[in-house]
Structure 1
Amino acid sequence: MTLLDSDLHRSPSAIVLIPVFNDWEALERLLWSLDETFLDRDIRVDILIVDDASIAPAPTELKFFSFKAIERVNILELKRNLGHQRAIAIGLAYIAANLNCKVVVVMDGDGEDNPQDVPRLINCCQAESNAKVIFAKRTKRSETYLFKAFYLVYKLVYKLLTGHHIQVGNFSVIPYQLLSRIVVISEIWNHYAAGIMRARIPYTEIATKRSNRLFGRSKMNFVSLVTHGISSISVYADIVGTRLIISVSVVVLLILISLGGIVSIKLFTSLAIPGWTSIAVGILCSILMQAVMLSIVFALMILNTRNSYGFMLGQDYYYFVSKLKEVFSREVLSK
């Protein structure tokens, strides 16, 4: 895959990375909002849209737009649909391999990540001497009460299984100097934010409010949301497995103590044993066998996780890239 020579010699202040699947109407409005946000600021911005094998074609009228702050808009087309997390991972790998800038902004294309917060994230990154990833921590969400309830359950399960809190999504700013470290984190293939946290990349969070979609309705259904949650937990597979082994071991110990108590009463006392005791013992033995089997399965999963190499994003991303298409350039318009 070739790269335009001009890409190697120009260096915008920021590259905004936006994964998109069919949500072109919302994206157009987001680009206008971003352009207005950066218009009065001395920030050169390029946009890299990762088209996650959309069914609906990308709009052709972007080349006629008259952006004032946005220098260039490129679409990186993928060969197949991979999902937002993997589209982000491929976009980051592409930028690290082919482009240069000061910071990379990662945000969704539906407008729920408020463009007005982008300068705040960039300023925070500069205040941290470009040494930390800056995540937007959502203090107020715009979803339904049912979604919020499930989200609380997800955070509780995440905390119990991994031992960590998670209150951030994709919306973030990455210093370019950290990008080479991030694209070798195979875990971001499953979950971008959790992968960075698991790899102990320095990061901090700033409070933001989630905005409303700019157009249409979310295409995420309940199954997709559950899959997304499981993907974030899978980043900590070995820790989750270890915690489950400990939990199962505690259950096994309690079962053995219960069985020992029943046998002791039967052999060493004159107390009457109820008729249901034999049924209870059978149930406990069945649970014990299943607990032991689960422990073995978890142990094998941990060994497999620790002994196998993950997907090498930095060197393998291009297998999924179809082509890079320039859809807007101020340089072309000025000629």
Structure 2
Amino acid sequence: MTHYLDSIVILIPIYDDWESLSILLINLDKQLSSLDIKVSVVIVDDASTVTSVNFHFASEWKCINTLLVVELRRNLGSQRAIAVGLAYIQANITCDAVVVMDGDGEDKPEDVPRLIDKCCEEYLKKVVFAYRRKRSESQQFKIFYLLYKKAFQILTGRHIRFGNFSIIPRYSLDRLVAVAEIWNHYASGLIRSRLQYSEILTDRGYRIAGKSNMNFTGLVTHGLSSLSVYNDVIGTRLLVFSLILIFIGLLLIGVVISIKILTNLAIPGWATFTIGLLCLFILQTTTISLLLMFTVLGSRSLYTVLPCRDYQHYVIQSYNIYPEISHD
């Protein structure tokens, strides 16, 4: 495969997972050593409670030329850490593409060359995501993940079946950092941006060391964050659905009145009781419709975080671990 890339940056958000990262970087260096590409690694330290200097990193790599840590002022979560990292790279580092991956080993280093190949096949015009065909989580997680994907499709009209693991060519990076939606959810925000993207099939890897900081609450929050990117679309769809319910309620009231007046099928008191219930249903649905309408309109006037403009507010310092430690 002919490569159109001379240099790439690998962006990895980290929260206290330095032990896994140190092993991951060794594996990454081995996988990329056969490629004639200049590789830099940018670690976004999401306000870790354990500092990076407490862990051992290789004194010399064959392929990785630079290891830079961008330290955040507060814990933002992986999605916002990615947004800050992308904006930092776009503003400060010259490269042909950025690879986004997790630092725990679940995104496999051997898939990075495949992402690079696919990106080159697309002539550096498309973001390439890694789509996991096989997952290693529990059956309970798989069921909830399937429900999440179906809910996302129904509420937004779009499909989402990939996570953070991806490669972004410079052409797309310069545009992506001006997409406010990636602040809440990287993959969902990119879909919303209408930037072109494609996929490769991969298998999920296994955590290298330690335990995941993500619990069930965090997973639910992550799913809701992806939906929040489409709050106007979801609000509009729910509004239309509410109006349909109101129309059905009015139609049923008309049917009840017709039965009461035109037939002898009515049971004494049933028409009044049924119409009362339907009126209550219509009143509640109308209230929900109005709330949805004002929520959608209000969300359009809210101040949004723009990564390319606001990322500097969240960066406390950046420093090199490799080739040498030098604090700014």
Could you tell me the TM-score, scaled by structure 1's length?
Answer: 0.92
* Cα deviation 1:214-260 (Å, max 9, x = unaligned): 11222111110010001101111111011101111111111111111
**Aligned equivalents of 2:31, 2:131: Cα separation in 1:** 20
Identify the range of structure 1 (275-284 vs 22-31) with the bigger mean alpha-carbon deviation.
275-284
Q: Does 1:84 align with 2:78?
A: yes
Structure 1 position 180, deviation (Å): 1.3
Structure 1 position 268, deviation (Å): 3.0
Aligned residue in 2 for 1:195: 189
Q: 1:223 to 1:274 in 2, by over 3 A?
A: farther
Q: Is the 8 A contact 1:62 1:327 kept in 2?
A: no
Q: Match of 1:298, as an amino acid?
A: L
The share of aligned pairs that are identical, in percent, is 47
Unpaired runs of at least 5, structure 2: none
The SS at the match of 1:298 is helix
Q: Match of 1:109, as an amino acid?
A: G
Aligned residue in 1 for 2:285: 291
Q: 1:84 to 1:274 in 2, by over 3 A?
A: farther
Could you tell me the TM-score, scaled by structure 2's length?
Answer: 0.94
Q: Is the 8 A contact 2:257 2:271 kept in 1?
A: no
**Aligned equivalents of 1:96, 1:168: Cα separation in 2:** 23
Question: 2:245 aligned to 243, 247, 251, which one?
Answer: 251
Question: 1:123 aligned to 112, 117, 123, which one?
Answer: 117
The SS at the match of 1:168 is coil
**Aligned equivalents of 2:225, 2:274: Cα separation in 1:** 38
* Cα deviation 1:187-229 (Å, max 9, x = unaligned): 0000001101101011111111111111122211111001000
Structure 1 position 62, deviation (Å): 4.2
**Aligned equivalents of 1:309, 1:201: Cα separation in 2:** 23
Q: Match of 1:264, as an amino acid?
A: S
The SS at the match of 2:107 is coil
Q: Match of 1:256, as an amino acid?
A: L
Q: Is the 8 A contact 1:72 1:330 kept in 2?
A: no
Aligned residue in 1 for 2:20: 26
Aligned residue in 1 for 2:148: 154
Q: CA RMSD in A?
A: 1.8
Q: Is the 8 A contact 1:135 1:204 kept in 2?
A: yes
Identify the range of structure 1 (57-66 vs 151-160) with the bigger mean alpha-carbon deviation.
57-66
Question: 1:168 aligned to 158, 162, 165, which one?
Answer: 162
Identify the range of structure 1 (279-288 vs 92-101) with the bigger mean alpha-carbon deviation.
279-288
Structure 1 position 273, deviation (Å): 2.7
**Aligned equivalents of 1:318, 1:54: Cα separation in 2:** 18
Unpaired runs of at least 5, structure 1: 1-10
Q: Match of 1:231, as an amino acid?
A: S
Q: Is the 8 A contact 1:132 1:175 kept in 2?
A: yes
Aligned residue in 1 for 2:100: 106
Aligned residue in 2 for 1:210: 204
Q: Is the 8 A contact 2:164 2:187 kept in 1?
A: yes
**Aligned equivalents of 2:325, 2:6: Cα separation in 1:** 13
Aligned residues: 322
Q: 1:58 to 1:277 in 2, by over 3 A?
A: farther
**Aligned equivalents of 1:309, 1:118: Cα separation in 2:** 36
Aligned residue in 2 for 1:53: 47
Aligned residue in 1 for 2:69: 75
* Cα deviation 1:92-133 (Å, max 9, x = unaligned): 000011111111000011110011000110111111110010
